[in-house]
Amino acid sequence: MVIVYTGDGKGKTTAAVGLAVRAAGHGKKVIVIQFIKSPHRPYGEAKVLQQLGIGVHQTGVGFTWTKTPTEHREALQKGWALAKERVLSGEYDIVILDELNVALAITSFPIDDVLPLQDVVHTLLNKPAHTHVVVTGRGAKEDIIQLADLVTEMKEVKHYYHQGVQAMKGIDL
């Protein structure tokens, strides 16, 4: 299956992490590749997944406004090479591509040569039959939505950020 968690509401990564925990509980081999998140920030999900024996690779350098386009492009190229290799390897039962949708939606600098949408689509369509891929992040491309077996859209109804509450450890980080 290809599963997509998208939309403007919270819970996309959380849903993927829950799926990873469930799969690991059944003895499935799981890997998580995070495209935007940097290994230099202490994300709670990465800590606990690693404690459970689930590999987590944070290939990003942070949000697009925190680094140069060159830094982001290099990170996206390396992240996609790793993700593509892991998806096609047949070694994993579940491959979670966290924030891939966000990466594919970048328009502030060119990414098509380092993270080509058509290569992503081709990889997802040609993955081993036993490998399930979960793609998260707001702004899912129509091509990804169309090939997916399951698409869930998280919708924001109310959010504490609008009252000035910053990201909280254990809830947002």
Q: List the chain domain ranges.
A: 2-163
Which range of 16-25, 42-51, 57-66, 155-164 scores highest in mean pLDDT? It is 16-25
The CATH number given to 2-163 is: 3.40.50.300
**Residue 113 corresponds to which tokens in the numbers above?**
């040569």
- Mean pLDDT in residue range 92-100: 98
CB-based contact 155:10 (threshold 8 Å): no
What pLDDT is recorded for position 55?
96
Rounded Cα distance, 32 and 11, in Å: 16
Q: Can you give the pTM of this predicted structure?
A: 0.93
Per residue in 131-145, pLDDT tens? 999 999 999 999 999
Say if residues 77 and 114 touch (Cβ distance below 8 Å). Answer: yes
The pLDDT tens digits of the residues spanning 43-89 come to 889 999 999 999 999 999 987 677 899 999 999 999 999 999 999 99
Q: At residue 31, does pLDDT exceed 90?
A: yes
Q: Which stretches of the chain are assigned E, i.e. beta strand?
A: 2-7, 30-34, 55-58, 94-98, 132-136, 150-154
pLDDT-derived band of residue 3, with 50, 70 and 90 as boundaries?
Answer: very high
Amino acid letter for position 28: K
> Does position 168 have pLDDT exceeding 90, yes or no?
no
C-alpha pair distances (Å), 99 with each of 25, 130, 163 = 24, 23, 25
Q: Between 168 and 105, whose confidence is greater?
A: 105
pLDDT of residue 63: 72
Nearest alpha-carbon partner for 144 in 109, 115, 166:
115
pLDDT at 101 over 90: yes
Backbone CA torsion sign across 171, 157, 108, 118: positive
Q: Measure the CA–CA gap between 97 and 79, rounded to whole angstroms.
A: 10
Listed in sequence order, the residues at least 6 apart from 139 whose beta carbon sits closer than 8 Å to its beta carbon are: 6, 101, 102, 104, 105
Q: For residue 37, what pLDDT band results from cuts at 50, 70 and 90?
A: confident
In this prediction, residue 151 has a pLDDT band, given cuts at 50, 70 and 90, of very high
